[in-house]
Chain A
Amino acid sequence: DAGVTQSPTHLIKTRGQQVTLRCSPKSGHDTVSWYQQALGQGPQFIFQYYEEEERQRGNFPDRFSGHQFPNYSSELNVNALLLGDSALYLCASSPSLGAEQYFGPGTRLTVT
């Protein structure tokens, strides 16, 4: 049973560029949440998708957007990258809203 998968593992982008990160949830899970984790900090909630709709959103600007597909996989898009967007981006899936969340391996984004 495959767990949560994310791609790519690492990414280096230049300030001002755009990036797309991808996530496939654990089998049987229909809810996907995205988090940003800066070095030495706990993960910060970006948004959550359920039934292809954004259900919750954290305190992130509109440069951060997402999508959930019919197969429950999800994408996180970040436009106009800033140096401060450098972080570990984590995807977590859960079998339903409010249930335990399981994290993927993350995507390490570096903005230069």
Chain B
Amino acid sequence: QKEVEQNSGPLSVPEGAIASLNCTYSDRGSQSFFWYRQYSGKSPELIMSIYSNGDKEDGRFTAQLNKASQYVSLLIRDSQPSDSATYLCAVNFGNEKLTFGTGTRLTIIP
């Protein structure tokens, strides 16, 4: 059974600080990793994708991948109240479908 694990939170971070979200997955052969943001009552929005070990930066967001440790993370710098949402980690285990974690609820405190 291929699984994706996330801490459900809630994770509370002061405005302006760095929010760190973590995800582990069960299959070392996985190739593609994604972070989605989901506001309450809305659908998931793709914010980052990462395919190789290391860091990938896009604006205030940095995705980090360590395939040996089966670990992917998302850092949000200069956190804003608008970043308050549930963040979903998704993995393509090589079978062309996405397997999601249960999501981490992030709250940015003004």
- B-contacting residues of A (Cβ < 8 Å)? 33, 35, 40-45, 48, 55-56, 58, 88, 90, 92, 97-98, 100-106
> By the criterion CB–CB under 8 Å, are A58 and B97 in contact?
yes
- Point out the residue from B98, B101, B102 that lies within 8 Å of A101, measured CB to CB: B98
B109 within 8 A of A: no
Is the pair A100, B102 in contact by a Cβ cutoff of 8 Å?
no
Tell me which of B42, B88, B102, B103 contacts A105 (CB under 8 A).
B42
Q: Which of B31, B43, B44, B96 contacts A97 (CB 8 A)?
A: B96
Instruction: Give the size range of B's interface with the partner.
Output: 20 to 34
Beta-carbon contact of A42 and B96 below 8 Å: no
Q: Is the CB of A104 within 8 A of B96?
A: no
| Contacting residues, chain A, for B103 (C-beta < 8 A) | 41-42
Given contacts A42-B88, A48-B97, A56-B97, whether A98 and B102 have CB atoms under 8 Å apart is no
> Does the CB pair A48–B44 fall under 8 Å?
no
Q: Is the interface of B mostly helix, strand, loop or mixed?
A: strand
**Cβ-closest chain B residue relative to A98:** B96
Show the binding face of B for A, using Cβ within 8 Å.
4, 31-32, 34, 36, 42-46, 49, 88, 90, 92, 95-103
Contact A40 B102 (CB under 8 A): yes
Q: B23 to chain A: closest CB distance in Å?
A: 11
Interface contact B95-A101, CB-CB below 8 Å: no
A103 touches B97 (CB 8 A): no
Given contacts A42-B88, A42-B102, contact A102 B46 (CB under 8 A): yes
Give Cα distance in the complex from A92 to B43, angstroms.
Answer: 10
A102–B44 CA distance with the chains assembled, in angstroms: 8
Cross-chain contact A33 with B43 (CB below 8 angstroms): no
CA distance A68 to B31 in the complex (A): 27
Query: Do A103 and B44 touch across chains, with their CB atoms under 8 A apart?
Result: yes
Chain A residue at minimum C-beta to C-beta distance from B31? A98
User: Nearest-CB distance from B40 to chain A (Å)?
Assistant: 11
In angstroms, Cα B103 to Cα A45, docked, is 15
Which of A41, A45, A103 touches B43 (beta carbons < 8 Å)? A103
The residues of A that contact B4 with a CB separation of less than 8 Å are 42
